[in-house]
Structure 1
Amino acid sequence: MDDVFFDSGDEQNEHLYNTDHESDGELDSFNGLLRVPGQKVRPLSQRVEKLVLDFREKQEIFKRRRQDLAQSVSRGIRKEFLQQQERIVLRSKQMAKKLQSGRSRAWRHKWVFALVEADFVVTAFWLGASPQTFHLYYTAQMAVVMCGKVFDYRFTDQHYFLLDFCFFANACTLVWLWICPTSGYLFNAVESFCGVLALSVPLFRNSCVPHDFARISNAYVHYPQVLLVLSMIWSSDGEKRQGIEAGMAESWSARLFQAWSVYMSWAVLYASVIFVLAKKRIERKRRDTLYGYFAHTLGFKDKLPTWLRDYSGIVFMLGHQTLFMSGIGYIFLPFSVQVVAILLAITIFFHNGGRFYVDHFWKAHERNTVLYLDAATSMMTKASKEGSHSSLESKCTDDSPG
C-alpha cells in the first residue's frame, strides 16, 4: 500500500515537472512568433546584465548630477555668506568711523555727562529718603554699568579686564542681596570687600570725569558697593538683617577667614585663566589684562630683580592679596568711621576729577596763548618788514634825479 502511494506521488511530480517544461516550450514558441527574421537572440542572462549595467550607469550619472548640484548650491551659499560678511564688516567700519567722529563723540560725551550728574542726584536722594531700599537702585545701576563695560571691553578687545576683582566683588554683592541674603559667611566677605574697593579709589586714581564713560565707569565699580553695604548696615530688615547679624555674630578670626576664603576663590580663578588657560592666547593676540597693565605699561616687571622677573605673575598676585589684606580690617571699624572712610574716598574721587578738568583746560589755555603770541609776533614782524621796505622805496624815489 505504501509502495503504491509513493509511486503515485512520483508520477504526479513527474507530471508537474513535464507541465512546467511544456509551459516553457509554449513560451518559446510564442516568442518565436514575435521574433524578427534575421535578429540575433541573446541569452536572458546577458540581457539582465545589460539592464543592471544600464541601471548602474544611470545611478552614477544621477549621483554626479546631485554632487554637481550640491557643489553649485554650496558655492552659491558660500559666496552669499562671504558677501554678507563683507557687508557686515563694511557697516561695522562705517559705524565705528561715525562713532569716532568729533561730532558723535561730542554728542555722546554730553549725554553721558547729563546721565552721570542725574545719577549723583538720585543716589544722594535715595540714600537719604529710603536707605533700606537702596539695594534696588544699586542693582539697576550695576546692571547698566556691567552691560556697558562688557560692550566697551569687547569692542576694544579688553574683555579680560572683566575678570578683575572689582567685578567679582560686585557680583558677590548681588548674589548676597538676591540669592543668599541670610548668609553671614557671604556678608562677611562682601563687607570686607569695601576696604579694598575704597582704597582702590585713590590708588587707581578714580576720577569724577562725568563726560568720559571709561573713566566714570571705572569709579562705578568701586565706590557704589561701599555705599550699598553702609545703607544695609544702617537700615535693613527681613532676611538681609538676618544675614548681617549672623555675620557679625561670628568671632573675629572666623570673619577674617570667611572673607579671605572668598577672596582666594577669585585669586585662584584669575590666576588659572590669566597665567594658565588663556596665557598663550593672551600673548598671541596681545590682549590687555590688569597684570599686563602693571607689568608692562607701568613697567613694574622691569623694576624687579633679574632672578625674580620670571615669577612676576606670583609677585603680582601676592601684591594684590597684600592690598586686600590691608583693607580687610574695614569690617572691624565702627560704623561712623566707615562713613568717614567712604566720604574721604569720594572726596578724593571728586578731587581727581577737578584736577583732570583744571589741568586739561589750563594746558589748553597755555597752548592757545602760545599760538596767539606766535601769530601776533609773526604779524608784527611781517608788518615791520613791509614798513621798512616801503620806507626804503620812498627814500629811493626822493633821491632819484628830476
Structure 2
Amino acid sequence: MSDGSISQPPSPVLQPSTPGSITGLGYFSVPFEKFVKDDMSDWASGFTLMDTVETYFDSRLDLLQRRLSKHSDRLKIKAESKFNDVFKKDVFKRKSGKGDALTDNLEKEMQKLKLKMTQRMTSLSASWQSAKIVRTREKVTFFGGVMSMVITSLLFGMKPEWIHIFYTFLAIILLPMRVYIYKKRAWHYFLFDLCYYCNILNFVWIWAMPDSPALFVACYCLSHGSLASAVITWRNSLVFHDFDKVTSLFIHIYAPLTFTVIRHYYPEPQTRFPALAELPHLNPFRSLLLSSIIYSIWQLLYWKVVLIDRRKKIESGQRITSFSWLLNDKRGVIGRMLAATKPENREWSFMLGQLVYSILTELPAVFLLYDSKAWSAAFLILIFSVCVWNGGGFYIEVFGRKFERELEALRKELAEAYARTSSSAPTSPTLVAQSDDGLSTVANSPNLGPVPDKTTSSPELPIADLNATSSETKKDQ
C-alpha cells in the first residue's frame, strides 16, 4: 500500500435504500446522508465534536424534511385536483401523438372563435346598454296605454260624462308628440290626412260649438265612418309598448267611442251639448250631404297644399304621403287598383275613391247606429276586436319571426366557424369520446410525470412511493 492510501480515511460505502428503509434518501438529504455504520463511523465516534455536529444537523434536516414533505403533499393534491378538472372538462381525448402542429392550428382556430364570440357579445352588450332609453320609453308607453284603457273603461261605466274630457286630455298629450316624431322622421305630410282633420273638428264642436247640429252630424258620421273603418283599412294594432301604434289607435277609435257615449250614454246630453236636442233622429240625405261637404273641403285643401304645392318633394322621394304609401303597397287592394290605373288619372281616381269610401262607411252610422244603443256597442266591440286581433298577430308573428331569424343567424355563424376549423385541420387526429367516469379519480389520469432514464441507475425517491401509495389508497376507496 502507498503512503497516500494510509494517510487518508477510507470512503464511506453507501447502501441503496429500499422503500421501507429508515435511512432512505429524501429531498435535499443526499449531501448530508448519514454515514453507514462501518469502519468510518467507528473511527469518527471517537471525536465528541463530530457527534455534536452530526446530532445538530440530523435534527434540523429531519425537521426541514417534514416541512417539505407536508408542502409537497399539499402541492401534489392541488395539482391532482387541477388535472382532474382539466380532464373532466375535455370531452375528447387525443389518441395520436404526432399532431403537435395540428394541435397548434386547432388552438389558434379556437382562439379566433373565442375572440369572435367575445366581440359579438361585446357588441350585443353595447347595443343592450344603448337601448336603455328605448326600453324605458317602451315601458312608459306600455304603462300609459294600459292605464288609459283601464281609465276609459272605468269612466265609461261610472262617469260617462268625463269621456270627452279624457279624450281631450289624451289628445293634448299624444297629438303634439305625433307631430314632433313625424316631423323628425319627415313623415309630417301624413298629418294632413282626414283622420287628423276630423279630430280637430271634433274638438271644435265639443269645446267651441256644442250647439251646432250641422257640425255634430258631420263629426258623428265621419267618426263612425272613415275614422272607425281606418282601424281595418290601415290595420291598426293594440300594441301597448309601441307609441306610434298606440297613438294611431287612439286617433281612429276614440272619436267614435266619444260620440257614441255622447249620443247614448251621456246623462242628459242636451244640457251640455244643446245640438242633440234638435237631433232625435238623423235625416239620411242631409247627414250624408253635410259629411260630404266637410269631406270635400278637406279634400280640396289636401289637393292644393300637398299634391300641388309640394309635388316636387313628393316626387323626389323626400316626403311621403298616404297616397304615395298606398300606391307603393302592392299587397293591399287599394295599392293594386292604383297601380292598374294610368299615372295621369291616379290622383283624381284616388280622391273620388276616398269620397265613395267615406260615404259607404257612414251608412251604418246614419241608418243603424244613431238610433240603437245595442248596435252602437256591438260596432265598438267589433272595431276594438279587430285592433286586438292585429295586436296579437304582431306579438306572435313579428316577435316570433325575429327570434327565428336570430337563431338562424347564430346557427349559420356556428356552422361557418366549424367549417373553418375543419378546413384548417385536414388530417386531424382520431378523437374519441371520453367518459367522465374515467376521469373521476387520479389513478385514471394520464401519467404526466417525467420518464425515468434507464441508462443511469439512480436511487428511488420517496415521491414515487407517495404516488404509488396515494393511487392504491384511492383505488381501495
* Fold shared, TM-score > 0.5 on shorter chain: yes
2:339 alignment partner, one of 257, 278, 303: 303
The residue that corresponds to 1:391 in the other structure is 430
Q: Distance in 2 between matches of 1:361 and 1:160?
A: 30
Q: Distance in 2 between matches of 1:187 and 1:274?
A: 27
Q: Which range is displaced more, 289-298 or 223-232?
A: 289-298
C-alpha RMSD of matched pairs (Å): 2.9
Q: Distance in 2 between matches of 1:324 and 1:101?
A: 45
The residue that corresponds to 1:255 in the other structure is 287
- For 1:382-401, what per-residue CA distance to the aligned partner results, in whole angstroms no more than 9, with x for missing partners? 69998983239xxxxxxxxx
C-alpha displacement of 1:150: 0.9
The residue that corresponds to 1:204 in the other structure is 234
SS of match in other structure, 1:172 = helix
> 1:179-190 to 2 correspondence within 5 Å?
179-190=208-219
Highest CA radius of gyration, 1 or 2?
A: 2
Q: Distance in 1 between matches of 2:429 and 2:192?
A: 73
The residue that corresponds to 1:59 in the other structure is none
The residue that corresponds to 1:230 in the other structure is 260
> 1:42-61 to 2 correspondence within 5 Å?
none
Q: Distance in 2 between matches of 1:358 and 1:270?
A: 37
Q: Does 1:112 align with 2:147?
A: no
Q: Which range is displaced more, 251-260 or 166-175?
A: 251-260
1:354 alignment partner, one of 392, 400, 412: 392
Letter in 1 for 2:266: S
C-alpha displacement of 1:103: 2.5
Q: Distance in 2 between matches of 1:367 and 1:155?
A: 30
The residue that corresponds to 1:275 in the other structure is 307
How many residue pairs match? The answer is: 292
Letter in 1 for 2:274: Q
The residue that corresponds to 2:348 in the other structure is 314
> Is contact 2:236–2:390 with CA below 8 Å preserved after alignment?
yes
> Is contact 1:134–1:231 with CA below 8 Å preserved after alignment?
yes
Q: Which range is displaced more, 373-382 or 168-177?
A: 373-382
- For 1:160-180, what per-residue CA distance to the aligned partner results, in whole angstroms no more than 9, with x for missing partners? 111100001111111110111
> Is contact 2:284–2:366 with CA below 8 Å preserved after alignment?
no
Q: Distance in 1 between matches of 2:281 and 2:430?
A: 96
Q: Does 1:160 align with 2:189?
A: yes
Q: Percent identity?
A: 24
Q: Which range is displaced more, 270-279 or 186-195?
A: 270-279
Q: Distance in 2 between matches of 1:365 and 1:253?
A: 53
Q: Distance in 2 between matches of 1:199 and 1:296?
A: 21
C-alpha displacement of 1:101: 4.6
The residue that corresponds to 1:147 in the other structure is 176
C-alpha displacement of 1:297: 4.8
- For 1:170-207, what per-residue CA distance to the aligned partner results, in whole angstroms no more than 9, with x for missing partners? 11111110111011111111110112212111111001
| Stretches of structure 1 lacking an aligned partner (at least 5 in a row) | 1-97, 393-402
Normalised by the size of structure 2, how large is the TM-score? 0.56
Q: Distance in 2 between matches of 1:247 and 1:258?
A: 14
Q: Which range is displaced more, 165-174 or 381-390?
A: 381-390
> Is contact 1:187–1:247 with CA below 8 Å preserved after alignment?
no
> Is contact 1:188–1:331 with CA below 8 Å preserved after alignment?
no
The residue that corresponds to 1:396 in the other structure is none
C-alpha displacement of 1:248: 4.1
Q: Distance in 1 between matches of 2:328 and 2:282?
A: 42
C-alpha displacement of 1:104: 2.2
Q: Distance in 2 between matches of 1:115 and 1:151?
A: 19
Q: Distance in 2 between matches of 1:316 and 1:279?
A: 16
C-alpha displacement of 1:143: 1.3
